[in-house]
Amino acid sequence: SSDLISVGDKDTDNVIDEFKIMLNAAKQEGMEVIADIDPAIFKKL
């Protein structure tokens, strides 16, 4: 299963906080998270 993080108009700190919550939940379930990030997203951050 995969999840997309959409930066859009969100505050960068909020996006990072949401991502940390998702990573911690995955870790607790024994899941591995692999980031596949469009390089263009870095311009938005």
Angle, vertex CA 35, rays to CA 23 and CA 6, nearest 5: 80
- 1-45 residue pLDDT tens: 445 556 666 777 887 888 889 899 999 999 998 877 778 777 766
Sorted by where each begins, the domain ranges of the chain are 12-44
pLDDT for 45 equals 65
In terms of C-beta density within 10 A (0-12 exposed, 13-18 middle, 19 or more buried), how is residue 1 classed?
exposed
Q: Tell me the C-alpha distance between 45 and 43, whole Å.
A: 6
